[in-house]
Each structure stands twice: as structure tokens, then as C-alpha cells.
Structure 1
Amino acid sequence: MQLQVSHEMHSVCPEFVGACITANISNTPYSADLWAEIDVLGSDYRATLTTESLKSMTSIQATRRIYKLCGKDPSRYRPSGEALVRRVLQGKSLYQIDTLVDLINLASMKYGYSIGAFDADKFSGDTLTLGIGKEGEPYEGIGRGMINIAGLPVYRDAIGGVGTPTSDHERTKVTLSTTRLLVLVNGYDGSEQGVTDTAEYIIKLLNKYCSATNCEYKLYK
């Protein structure tokens, strides 16, 4: 899969750096050991963060800034990294989906980046392009129904949108039958180190919890 960043996205975020992770995996419904890790991180955050101070995390702060530059209110359409941490800080339980989705949520919470996980066999074409959502552009968010992605950063394949920092698309979502995985880490803060650390952490989790093989990642700008 080729990754491209459109001119319109470069114009609002010239510092963008992303990571594309690919792997063959075996998904499972639930991992108690993974949830033990999630619970530890949640406890640490409740002891050290508030719903206001989490906005100062550079990865979250940068994503919120890009939302505003693209024309979206980040307090109404929250980036996933921020939404997950906010939920924990409010004393709410995270939704338990499956091992693969749960570990991506853990990585997003830990580093603050919005991370998209996709079934690589469900894409149309061989290129994903990061752009900005348009008025009236159809988009069915996972578990959300049709959502307005105008002003949101969005990845598109040959058919249309597949991922935004707020919600990925139903068409390309991962399931228990997913075997070929593609993950995108979105560094709107321009931190190659932060994005690299996140990608390497995700690969560690995939090896530990999803019996991953052929794991690799590449950076793109």
C-alpha cells in the first residue's frame, strides 16, 4: 500500500509524519493480560492527569490544532486518543471490542496519537491519501452511523474515506476474521521519535497478543 499526504493537508500541517504498520495477525475476542495492562495505564493516568491537563500532551494538542485549522471543533468531534483518555479520567470503562482493537486503543492512550487499524484485504486500490473531508461526503463511522467528516482529516482509498482521527469506516474495519492488518499512526505534532516509538510499541503488542508475523513499519510525510 502506498501512502500519500495531499497538498491540502500539507498546507495546514507541513510537519505531519505518519507511520504505516503492516502485519499478519490472529485476532481473538479477549485477552485478560492485555486488559491488565490497560487497567494499569488507566490507574496511572487517573493519578497524574485531569481532563484539562491531558490537552497539553503534545500529540493530543497538535491533533486538536489541526482539527481547528481544517474547520472542525475538536471538543465536539474528539480525536480518538483524547477521547479514550478522557473516558478513563471520568471513571468510565473502555469499551471491550476484541484483542486487536483493544491493543490499538492502549497504544493510542499511551502515546496520545490517533491510530487507525484496518483490514488490509478490504481496501480498494493500492493507495491511501490523507486529505480533508468535504461537505456532503458520505462516511459511515464504526458504530456511529453516518457522520459529517467535513473539516476532518481523512484517509481515502479508490472508493472513498476509510479513516479519520475521530472514527474509522465500517467498510474497512478489523474483525475477528482479519488476518492482514494495516495500522496508521498520525503524528500531527511532527515528532518522528514519538511516531516511531508508537509504531514499535504497537508491533510489540501485536507480537505479544496477536501472534503477529511479517511485522514492519515505514514512516511517511
Structure 2
Amino acid sequence: MEIKIEDIVRNAAPDLQVVTIEANVTNHPTTPKLKEEFLALGEEIKRRYTMPDINKRPAIAATRAAYKALGKEPNRYRPSSEALCRRIVKGMELYFISDLVDLINVVSVASGYSIGGFDADKIAGDTLSLGAGREGEDFEAIGRGQLNIACMPVYRDEVGGVGTPTSDNERTKLSDDTRRLLMCINVYGEEMPVDDTVALATRLLEEYCSATDIKVTTYR
């Protein structure tokens, strides 16, 4: 899979790096050990941040700045990393979906980066372009129905949008049947060092999803 970053996004976010991780995986309901790891991270986040601190985390602040530069209001359409951290700091119960989904959430909360997780076999073509959403563009967000992605960074395949920093699309979402993962780590501004983020993601993939043939690529 290749990522092409369009000029409109490059101009709005000149420091953007997209790091992709591709791997063969197995997926299952969230294992107790991963739940424990996620819950422990949640307690650490609650100790480190108050609610006003969350959108000042460097990675989250940079993602919000990209939204604003493209013309999107980030307080109405929060990046997923921000939304997850807010949920944790509010003391709301974490939800668990599957090992693949939840390990991506662990990496996102730990690093501050919004991360797309896609079933690579459901992506049409071998290239994703990262551009800006258009008015009225169809996008069925996971668990949310139609999402207004106008002026939002959006990955598109040959069919249409598959992911934004706010939500991924139902069409290419991860499921129990996913065998090939594409993870897109959106580094609009660095917080956790990229190498450390990749190392964390790789460890979790190998430990919980028996990942093999792991390929890491960075796009700027």
C-alpha cells in the first residue's frame, strides 16, 4: 500500500508524517491481558492530565491545528485521540471491541496520535490519497452514521473515503475476520518519538495478534 499526501494537506500541515504499519494478523475478542494494559494506561493518563490539558498535548494540538487550517472546527469534530483521552479523564468506562481495535487505541492514547486501522483486503486499489473532505461527501463513520467530513483530512481509496482522524469508515473497518492490517499513524506534530510509537505498536501486534510480515513505511 502506498500513501500519497495531497498538496492541500501538505500546505495545512507541513510537519506531517504518516507512518504505515502493514502486517498479517489474527483478531479476536479483547484478551484480559490487553484490557489490563489499557486500563493501566488509563490510570496513568488520569494522573498526568486534567481536562484542559488534553488538547494541549503536542500531538493533539497539532492535529487540531491541521483541522483549523483546512477549515474544520476541532471542538465539534474532535480527533479520535483527543476524544479517547477526554473519555478517560472524565472517568467514563472504557469500551473494548477486539484485540486489533483496542491495541490501536492503546497506541493512540499513549502517543497522542490519531491512528487509522483498516482491513487492507477491503481497500480498493493499492494507493490511499490523503486529501481534504468535500461538502456532501459520503462517509459512513463507524458507529456514527454519516459524518460531515468537509474540510477534514481524509484517506481515500478508489471507491471513496476510508478514514479521518475523527473516525474510520464502516466499509474498511477491522473485524474478527481481518487477516491483513493497514495501520496509519498520523503524526501532525511529534509527541512520542516515532520510533517508540512504532516499537509499541509492533510489540502489541506481535503479542496480541500474532503479527507476521510486518512492514513499516514513513511518508512525508
Into which bin does the TM-score normalised by the smaller protein fall? over 0.9
Distance in 1 between the 2:191 and 2:86 partners? 25
- TM-score after normalising by structure 1: 0.97
d(CA) in 2 for partners of 1:201, 1:40:
15
User: 2:27·2:178 contact (CA, 8 Å) conserved in 1?
Assistant: yes
Q: d(CA) in 2 for partners of 1:197 and 1:174?
A: 24
Instruction: Report 1:111-122 matches (<5 A).
Output: 111-122=111-122
Are the aligned partners of 2:18 and 2:218 in contact in 1 as well (CA < 8 Å)? yes
What does residue 30 of structure 1 align with?
Answer: 30
What is aligned with 2:171? 171
Residue equivalent to 1:80: 80
The answer to whether the 8 Å contact 1:120/1:180 transfers is: yes
Aligned residue identity for 2:89: L
The superposition leaves residues 79-108 of structure 1 with CA deviations (integer Å, 9 ceiling, x where unpaired) of 000110100000001221111101100100
Deviations 1:183-219 (A, max 9, x none): 0000111x39733321221111000111111112110
Paired AA for residue 76 in structure 1: R
Q: Counterpart of 2:193 in 1: which secondary structure?
A: helix
CA offsets, 1:167-198, max 9 Å, x none? Answer: 00000001000000000000111x39733321
Distance between the aligned counterparts of 2:25 and 2:36, measured in 1? 21
Q: CA RMSD in A?
A: 1.2
| Amino acid of the structure 2 residue aligned with 1:203 | T
SS at match of 2:51: coil
Deviations 1:95-149 (A, max 9, x none): 2111110110010000000000000000111110110101011100001111110
Partners of 2:112 and 2:192 within 8 A in 1 = no
Alignment of 1:95-106 (within 5 A): 95-106=95-106
* Contact in 2 for aligned 1:186/1:195 (Cα 8 Å): no
1 CA distance for matches of 2:76 and 2:89? 18
Q: Does 1:162 align with 2:162?
A: yes
**2:212 aligned partner, one-letter code:** T
1-side partners of 2:169 and 2:44: how far apart?
A: 31
| Residue of structure 2 equivalent to 1:206 | 205
Counterpart of 1:74, as a letter, is: P
Residue number in structure 2 paired with 1:219: 218
C-alpha distance in 2 between matches for 1:165 and 1:114: 5
Following TM superposition, where does structure 1 have runs of at least 4 consecutive aligned residues deviating by more than 4 angstroms? none
Amino acid at match of 1:183: M
1:141–1:169 Cα contact (<8 Å) kept: yes
Q: 5+ unaligned residues in a row in structure 1: which ranges?
A: none
Matched length: 220
Name 1:54's counterpart in structure 2.
Answer: 54
Give me the identity figure in percent.
Answer: 48
Distance 2:95 2:79 in 1: 16
Measured in 2, the distance between the counterparts of 1:112 and 1:30 equals 22
Unaligned runs of 5+ in 2: none
Q: Which residue of 1 aligns with 2:124?
A: 124
- Contact 1:117 1:174 survives alignment (8 Å): yes
